[in-house]
């Protein structure tokens, strides 16, 4: 997953996104990754922006469901 994100130029900035289709070794059609930015710089408005980015990615593809995992590190 890390190599695919690197190839996509994903750096984890808040609300920046990357799609990985048919990831190797996983029985998934797609993984959507949305950055949360630096924790020391993140405020309530940033979480709203991040949530909007997630919903935008999912609704644009007309997905029927998703599991959302947040890693706050």
Please give the average pLDDT of every successive group of 10 residues along the chain, which has 73 residues: 91 91 88 88 89 88 77 69
pTM across the whole model: 0.80
Alpha-carbon distance 46 to 50, whole Å?
A: 6
pLDDT for the residue 63: 66
CB atoms closer than 10 angstroms to residue 50: 20
Alpha-carbon distance 36 to 14, whole Å?
A: 4
What residues pair up with 19 in beta bridges, in sequence order? 32
pLDDT for the residue 38: 86
Alpha-carbon distance 44 to 28, whole Å?
A: 31
What residues pair up with 32 in beta bridges, in sequence order? 19
pLDDT for the residue 11: 92
pLDDT for the residue 18: 92
Contact 8, 20 (CB under 8 A): yes
pLDDT for the residue 71: 78
């Amino acid at each position: 997953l890390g190599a695919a994100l690197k190839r996509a130029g994903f750096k984890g900035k808040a609300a920046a996104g990357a799609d990985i289709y048919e990831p190797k070794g996983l029985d998934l059609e797609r993984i959507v990754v949305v950055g949360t930015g630096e924790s020391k710089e993140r405020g309530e408005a940033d979480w709203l922006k991040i949530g909007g980015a997630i919903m935008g990615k999912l609704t644009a593809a007309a997905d029927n469901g998703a599991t959302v995992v947040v890693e706050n590190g």
